[in-house]
Amino acid sequence: MYSRKIGAGEPDPLIQESAPTRDQELFPIRTVSSLTGVNSVTLRAWERRYGLIRPQRTPKGHRLYSRADIQRIEQVLGLLDRGVSIGQARAALESQQRGDEAPTPAVPRRDRGPWGGYIERMIEAIGAFDEKTLNTIYNEALSLYPVELVTSQLIVPLLEELGRRWQSREGSVAEEHFFSVFLRNKLGARFHHMALNTHGPKLLCACMPTENHELALLLFCLAALTRNYRIVLLGANMPFADLPLAARRSDSDAIVLAGSVGAYWPALEDELGALVRRVRVPVLVGGHLATLHRDAITRAGAIPLGSDVPQALRRISEVLSPQD
């Protein structure tokens, strides 16, 4: 049973004679998506297919979520991050409510829930250069799981697996290029659609100089959009010298740089420090480069983010909204 619609003779919860208390506040789906990072398509799937949430409805059928609903969504996200599949989330929540002592065990990321299966299916489709099947699997994952989770537990491990297959000669460069083109097209279309509807702090995002692979940055930007950040995307191989002017003209609140490998790092350390001194906004560095050279990035006055997208977004939020 899902939530019933408000009947014609019943009061609309949005229209009350007295001001609602904080616990009685109701939020439209767009607001809930922004607050939780779970897109509206996924929220609807969690309701219809799994009965995880039961929002109220207006007379016109629009969903309205309470703070209790939002709290439940956050609980689901916590379970997913621990490796529980979306199909098992309801039983896990009910177990928690009963006070069962046995917690859901944490398992290694690559072995979590459905992700290994998704990776195997996508590898098979990529090996056959089957774009139709690949598209079906990709859309299925995005309809059931938040973008941040799909990024960190499916797309990034899949890209790493394709790289490993190429190095071990199990796969080919053609496979990697096929998937890169597919993913860039999918992410680009989604990025431009979502970018029109965000209103939060503005991030100027670019790849480090000599970094020609922008997929990881695009994945990060897509996740940031679900958190209501506005994005100015400059893409691959961005010279530091042009960033201060771009940051100033775009009125950005922070600069986010991405880098994958550290071979070129020694030559850029001084340049990063010079960039930090030339701008009036925080400079943050993500990707594997930030993990390899965390201390050096900090010495340069920038803020290392690492390569975990959800953690990076939390760190950015802390930097831009410091707690007193």
Residue ranges of domains in the chain: 22-98, 109-192, 198-320
pLDDT-derived band at 324, boundaries 50, 70, 90: very low
Sign of CA dihedral 269, 274, 277, 278: negative
Confidence (pLDDT) at 23: 56
pLDDT (average), residues 80-94: 80
| CATH of the structural domain 109-192, one choice from 3.90.1170.50, 3.40.50.720, 1.10.287.1080, 1.10.1240.10 | 1.10.1240.10
- State pTM to two decimals: 0.65
Give first-to-last CA distance, the chain, whole Å: 44
Confidence (pLDDT) at 8: 40
Confidence (pLDDT) at 182: 92
Confidence check: pLDDT of 109 > 70 = no
In sequence order, what are the residues at sequence separation of 6 or more whose Cβ sits closer than 8 angstroms to the Cβ of residue 60? Answer: none
Confidence check: pLDDT of 323 > 90 = no
d(CA 278, CA 75): 42
d(CA 105, CA 29): 31
In sequence order, what are the residues at sequence separation of 6 or more whose Cβ sits closer than 8 angstroms to the Cβ of residue 30? Answer: 40, 197
DSSP-based three-state secondary structure for 4: coil
- The larger pLDDT score, comparing residue 39 to residue 124, is at 124
Confidence (pLDDT) at 301: 94
Per-residue pLDDT tens digits for 67-84: 888 888 888 888 887 778
Confidence check: pLDDT of 203 > 80 = yes
Per-residue pLDDT tens digits for 288-306: 888 888 999 999 999 999 8
Confidence (pLDDT) at 202: 95
- The larger pLDDT score, comparing residue 291 to residue 275, is at 275
Share of the chain above pLDDT 70, in %: 85
State which fold the 198-320 domain adopts. Rossmann fold (3.40.50)
State which fold the 22-98 domain adopts. Multidrug-efflux Transporter Regulator; Chain: A; Domain 2 (1.10.1660)
List strands edge to edge, sheet with 254-258: 230-235, 202-207, 254-258, 283-286, 303-306
Do domains 22-98 and 198-320 share one topology? The answer is: no
Element (H, E) at 311: helix 309-320
